[in-house]
Structures are given as structure tokens and as C-alpha cells.
A and B are shown apart, each in its own frame.
Chain A
């Protein structure tokens, strides 16, 4: 069966056994994975069994994240701060007009998205909420999900939660309402899809720490998003990452802000509880 052929090939690669690559490069990369795991900086990025994507990066990439100047995402932080203070829309207001200092008013807000939206009876992600806010409260034009403004604003907002532990919004009062969305997100995570017939779980749980070609497979934690990705040479949202991962396993990607990706994001945040918010992180 074709499915099994492909899966065995991918499983072989997933276990780090190379097919036709030069021996020297693959040995070096495998040793490198072990070296990264030994970095003493890791201890701040591991909580029990859960590990941030930070621990899977090279030490140079970690250096970039640890220095706010070297971290290119801070260009977007600067823009986010400008946008926060800029009057925008027919209401003649800026974010600061109502919310004053972002450092105070937005502290911890990263933990509150995706949140339940009683209007649509669905979960709503931060980007979608920002757009609704722009339209309804400010009379301003919406921003595209991966636009420079939306990246800048969401990074700036989440930065105010940096260092705080990820905390699921589910509690005894809202459990009945939110549990179904969490379940949908978990189901997506575990469901096989695409030509390669793989699920998120295969790479990000079953084969964590192994190599997918030259990358070490991380646990797929969301606590650094929007993140500056070296591959993109700019920051990107977690829905962009979902889209790319789905394309890589030859599955049709869902749209930014889709129910599927919003529920998945909700599940991932719940799953990463305890890790610290790192936005904006630097990843491969």
C-alpha cells in the first residue's frame, strides 16, 4: 500500500536513519542534538515533561532570543508600540486612549486567547479579536492576519506577558462551555491527515527529540508565538506554522483564524501549561 510505503520511509527518516545523505553531516547533526539537550540554560524552559522549543535550538539561535537587541522580532515590537500609540480610525482613538500603558493593561493577556466568543459561540484567536476591536471600537480598517501591523501588534501585546507561566483559561465555571473546543483541538492534534497520513502527534509527541532531516523535532509548543523564524526571515503567527506543517505532510491547510486552527491553538496552549511565555521567540 502506498500509505505504508511512505510512512515507513518517513518513519525511517523520523528515527534519524538517513537515506542517501553524506555520513559526516548526519553524524554531526545527531551529536548536535545531544549537545543542545545539555545546555544549562534549558532548565528555565522545561517544566516536568514539557519542553519549550527553545531547548531544541542551536546555542546561536538561543543567543539571538536571549538578547532583545539581537532578536530581529524586536523591530516588530517597536512598530507594535508605535501602533499602540497611534490614533487610528473614525473614532479618533489610539489603543492607548482607552488602555493607557500596555505594560499594565495587557499584562497576562497572552493567557486569555483563544477565548470563548458568545456572539459566534466559538473560540476566537487574538488576531481575530484585534480585528473585531479595530472595527467596532475604533472605526478602523482590519489588518490581514500575517500583515506587518497584525504581527507587530500581536507580538507587542503578547510581549507584555513574557516570563509569565502559560495558564489555561479553563476553570470549573467555564469547563462545560470550553471542554468541547479543547476536545476538538486535541482530536485535530491526534488525527492523521494528508498524503503522508500523519498527525501532529507523530512528530511532536512520538518522535520528539529525533531528527526530521536536520531539524530536531520539538514538542510543538505555542509559547513563543508569534515567533521570528529563521526559515521565514520574519515573524509569523502560529496559524502560519500550522499551515506550513500541514502543507509539509501534503495535507490541505486550513485558513488563518479557521475553527480548526483556533481550536488547535487552544489545545496547544492548554497542553503547554506551566511553560513561560517567550514571545517573541527565535526558532528555526
Chain B
């Protein structure tokens, strides 16, 4: 299953415009409280961090716990002062990372 994240943000904006950025990544967000058919515990395995930066500077960081639903949806806002690239990094409990970037131009 592709663990491809989805990101929605406008391609071009006015200088200083505050835009909404929506993100969604497929992930079971295994809580660690479920039992398998034999009665043993299924270990916890979640995405515990999402980081958004713009041109290398932090915009927002989210820390997730198992109470966040599967296929975590996360939306936030960012003020865009100049053209550049948003970078998004999702980190899981094992240190695995998924990254994607989106360019935005200031008109």
C-alpha cells in the first residue's frame, strides 16, 4: 500500500496571504491496545510527528498520540511572504520518515 501523503495548498498566492494547507497520510495508527486473534497485543505503531517548513524555516509541528484517528488528517494555516517550497515530513514510531514538497509562487 502506497504510504503516499496528500497535500492541498494553492499554487500561487498574493504576498502576505494566509493560506490553508490540508494534509492527509494513509496510516493505521495502531494504538497498541488491540489484540490479535490469538489474544496477544498488537504493538503500537503510529505517526507521532508531522513537521511543515517553508524554505527551511519551521511553520508548524504536530505531535500525535494514539488518540489521533487512522489516516491522520491535519490542516493548518501559513502566511506566504515569498515564493518557495513547503516541505512536509511525517515521522513514525520506528523513526521512519515520509517526505513531500509543494512549491508556491507569490504573484
Question: A: which residues have CB within 8 A of B?
Answer: 69-70, 72, 74-75, 78-79, 82, 148, 233-234
Contacts and interface: CB of A to CB of B under 8 A. Distances in A.
Contacts of A234: 70-71
Contacts, number: 32
Q: Is the interface of B mostly helix, strand, loop or mixed?
A: loop
Interface stretch (B2-10, B55-63, B96-104): B2-10
Contacts of B22: 69-70
A38 B91 CA distance: 42
B89 interface: no
Q: Which has the most chain B C-beta neighbours within 10 Å: A69, A78, A79, A233?
A: A69
6 contacts: A72-B73, A75-B2, A75-B26, A78-B2, A79-B4, A234-B70
B71 A75 contact: yes
A132 to B, nearest CB: 23
Interface in B22-46: 22, 24, 26, 28
Contacts of A70: 22, 24, 73
The 9 closest A-B pairs by CB, nearest first: A233-B70, A148-B1, A72-B71, A75-B26, A69-B8, A79-B2, A69-B22, A78-B4, A75-B6
A79 B2 CA distance: 7
A172 to B, nearest CB: 44
B2 A72 contact: no
Nearest to A147: B1
B69 interface: yes
A70 B24 CA distance: 8
Interface residues of B, number: 13
B37 to A, nearest CB: 15
Contacts of B70: 233-234
Given A70-B22, A234-B70, A79 B6 contact: no
Nearest to B28: A233
Given A75-B24, A79-B1, 9 more contacts: A69-B22, A69-B24, A70-B73, A72-B71, A72-B73, A75-B4, A78-B4, A78-B6, A234-B70
A148 B4 CA distance: 13
A72 B24 CA distance: 8
Contact of A74 (B1, B2, B6): B6
Contacts of B2: 75, 78-79, 82
A78 B26 CA distance: 11
B6 A69 contact: yes
A82 B3 CA distance: 13
Contacts of A79: 1-2, 4
Contacts of B4: 75, 78-79
A75 B73 CA distance: 12
Nearest to A78: B4
Contacts of A233: 28, 69-71
B21 to A, nearest CB: 11
A146 to B, nearest CB: 12
Contacts of B26: 72, 75
Nearest to B8: A69
B17 to A, nearest CB: 19
B28 to A, nearest CB: 8
A119 B34 CA distance: 44
